[in-house]
Amino acid sequence: MRLWLRNEIDIIAELIQNLEKSILGQAELHSNSLMAGLTHLQTAQPITFGHHMMAYHDMFARDYDRLLELRKRVNCLPLGSAALAGTSFKIDREFVADKLGFEKVIDNSLDAVSDRDFILEFLNFSAILMIHISRLSEEIIMWASDNFGYIDIPDEFCTGSSIMPQKKNPDVAELARGKTGRAIGNLVNILVLMKSQPLAYNKDNQEDKEPIFDSVQTVKDTLDIFSAMLSSIKVNKANLKKPLEQSYTTATDLADYLVAKQTTFREAHEIVSKIVTFAEKENILLRDIPLKTFEKFSEKIEEDVFEILDCEGSVNSRNHVGGTSPDQVLNAVKRQN
């Protein structure tokens, strides 16, 4: 089991790297493609599509690190432990470990026979990885819908409807989201299997094979097709930007502007809230409010306010490590190459 899983881990590690490359390609291509960042699924602040994609890259980078860490604990030699007490034959376990590529031998023969932690760790990794894929799948499904229209998924990753000829359903993303339940279920399965077992071998452990085999195959299949789909999606920049042109996403920038002019944030928040309420009643955007009107809300608002009310200006102002400015997105991409 350990030899097999070690080999599968190496395959999966490469597949994760392929997925990361697909994400990096989209992030670099759309480092300056403006979109609305959401909180609570409500329009919040301007960001870029590239910045959004890099958030997922960092999730999968953690998954990759997690996988390599657990590989160390998978790559331990149990051979020579026999049923539970070791063997009376003169063996050299370190020699065998070296020849089979194991990093170490398991010190205690009873622990070696009883241990299924390495399976649990892999299943935990699989569940977390699939949750990350599921979250991205959910957004891809939304973005591809008529209500958003942010992206177009190539036909080979979609199917039509059996009844409605105009439909194009994002099947790969939906199936990836659905298969996450299998990965989580397999983890819970083995957790429950192991929870009350006494030490050494028990026949219960016959049941540990199917969940690990299933999760390994599910992860490999999902990563393989998901990478191909992600690298081939097309982004509609006009639709991506449209919510920014219909909302008040630079309100936070306006509050920050007032704070920079020695207004407390509480007071700035209250002032901007009143300005947004006014703009909503007048059915205009913040950038369309005349300076004289702004001055009625605060004497600290001056002509330079219009620089920060522009969505591009808002994004560009967040030019620090981890920020959403195009320069920082490109820097983040370069750090990974």
Question: Are 227 and 261 contained in the same domain?
Answer: no
Helical residues (DSSP H) of the chain, grouped into ranges? 2-29, 49-74, 93-100, 109-114, 117-144, 171-194, 209-232, 237-241, 251-260, 265-282, 291-297, 305-308, 311-317, 326-336
Please identify which residue in the block is written with the tokens 């950038």: 287
Domain range for 276:
246-336
Low-confidence ranges of the chain (pLDDT < 70): 165
And the tokens for 277? 């309420």
Question: Are 183 and 330 contained in the same domain?
Answer: no
Q: Does residue 89 form part of some domain? A: no
Number of domains comprising the chain: 2
Q: Please name the residues in contact with 165: beta carbons below 8 A apart, sequence gap of 6 or more.
A: none
What is the CATH classification number for the domain harbouring 306?
1.10.40.30
Catalytic residue among 81, 88, 145, 161: 161
40 is annotated as an active-site residue: yes
Report pLDDT for 246: 85
Picking from 243, 263, 280, the residue at the C-terminal end of a domain is 243
Q: Structure pTM?
A: 0.93
What is the CATH classification number for the domain harbouring 71?
1.20.200.10
Question: Are 205 and 310 contained in the same domain?
Answer: no
Question: Are 331 and 216 contained in the same domain?
Answer: no
Question: Are 213 and 313 contained in the same domain?
Answer: no
Q: Does residue 90 form part of some domain? A: no
161 is annotated as an active-site residue: yes
Each residue of 131-176: pLDDT tens digit? 999 999 999 999 999 999 999 999 999 988 778 867 899 999 999 9
Long-range contacts of the stretch 277-285 (C-beta < 8 A, 24+): 279/248, 280/248, 285/245, 285/248
And the tokens for 145? 């819908």
Question: Are 218 and 288 contained in the same domain?
Answer: no
Picking from 243, 260, 289, the residue at the C-terminal end of a domain is 243
Report pLDDT for 166: 74
Catalytic residue among 22, 33, 40, 145: 40
Question: Are 301 and 170 contained in the same domain?
Answer: no
